[in-house]
Structure 1
Amino acid sequence: MSGWFKVQFGLFAIFVYQVVLNVLPGSAARALWLRMVGNAVGANVGLHSWLRLTWPTRMEIGENSTINFGVFLDSRGGIRVGANTMIGHKCSVYSATHDLDSGEFETVKKPVLIGSNVVIFPHSLVMPGTVIADGAVILPGSVVSGQVGANQIFGGVPAKYIRDRNPVQMYKLDYTFWFPNS
């Protein structure tokens, strides 16, 4: 089997995986599917429809967290999401990029770590190697790279510190719908 064919077969397998993942009814079925292929997915995780993945493994999602409609997760370098965290509609989280100075344009993998009680509002972009500490908020449409401290609010392109969030109360999310579509 040629290298080109192996790559194409692998991409087709990921495509089929995503189709199956997204037609499963409800968050519990999607969470079970992700667990079956080796991810650590906590209890009561809300995985809304049209979740897109570049790689079906290397993810850890804490209990009561929600990954909303149309989120794109590039977990090639690993993604860890804490408990009670919400990733808004159509966000993208990348854990791999390319070395722009490499003659071979090599892939560089850097894990993304997102803490507990974090809110990432819709249409935000989280870049490889980013660490978002517990209680942080990322405002809509932001491009986040680097470190976001605990209970800090970041926003903009590129995302910059806005202010501190009031001390976060421990809350429990529950957005595990059977047919979430918005």
Structure 2
Amino acid sequence: MTLIDAQASNNRDLGGASFSLRNRITRICWKLCWTLLGKWTPPPLHRWRCILLRLFGAKVGRGVRIYGSTIIWLPSNLAIGDSVIIGPRANLYNQGVIEIGNRAVISQGAHLCASSHDVNDYYFQLVLRPIRVAPNAWIAAEAFVGPGVTIGEGAVLGARAVAMRNLEPWGIYSGNPAKYLKQRVFQQLP
């Protein structure tokens, strides 16, 4: 064993696991369930996938459309409002809580990450920082939302943009890091 291996072993022993055994077993069961019963299902079976999420503790509203290729780390850390769309290949890395408001859209390939690491800690301990996506917001294709970010009501985060700070309501943002472009203007439904 080299000095580096010994140091790594000591770090694991002193730092400990970030998650309990129960949490790890739950995630294994969830991955197995999703792989066998949800991941391969045809796109129209949104209700079925919502049932699976609810069985593992997710709060899922009515009329939610979620695709089989979506990746969800832990359903019990997920709250989804009514009429939400979570597109294909979206990654909800919800070690911390992710809340998605009514009528929000998370487009294909978007990545929401609700945790980080304490860079000042010797063991880089995990820091959970919840994400909130307010009603009527849109996170476009392949965009990234970082830990602790709130996407304001009706805000739009453009394709491949990176939000590491809160986005104001009804603003349109783009780029890396996301910058405010203009106010969102839309017509009310009759």
Please indicate, yes or no, whether the TM-score normalized by the shorter chain is above 0.5.
yes
CA distance in 1, matches of 2:27, 2:134: 30
Matched residue type, 1:13:
C
Give the match for residue 22 of structure 1: 39
The TM-score normalised by the length of structure 2 is: 0.81
Matched residue type, 2:156:
V
Q: Number of paired residues?
A: 168
Give CA-to-partner distance per residue, 1:50-77, whole Å, 9 cap, x none: 1112223211111001000001111111
Are residue 104 (structure 1) and residue 123 (structure 2) matched? Answer: yes
Give CA-to-partner distance per residue, 1:19-65, whole Å, 9 cap, x none: 13313451000111111111110000000121112223211111001
- In structure 1, the gaps of 5 or more residues are 172-182
Distance 1:81 1:9, change over 3 A: closer
CA distance in 1, matches of 2:163, 2:125: 22
Are residue 169 (structure 1) and residue 188 (structure 2) matched? Answer: yes
For residues 24-173 of structure 1, the aligned pairs below 5 Å read 24-25=41-42, 26-166=45-185, 169=188
1:18 to partner: Cα distance: 3.0
Give CA-to-partner distance per residue, 1:113-157, whole Å, 9 cap, x none: 000111111000110100011110010000111211110011100
| Contact map agreement 1:86 1:119 (CA 8 A) in 2 | yes
| Contact map agreement 1:76 1:109 (CA 8 A) in 2 | yes
| Contact map agreement 1:151 1:168 (CA 8 A) in 2 | no
Report the identity percentage.
Answer: 24
The TM-score normalised by the length of structure 1 is: 0.84
1:8 to partner: Cα distance: 7.5
CA distance in 2, matches of 1:36, 1:86: 23
Matched residue type, 2:181:
I
Larger Rg: 2
Q: Aligned-pair RMSD on alpha carbons?
A: 2.1
CA distance in 2, matches of 1:78, 1:59: 6
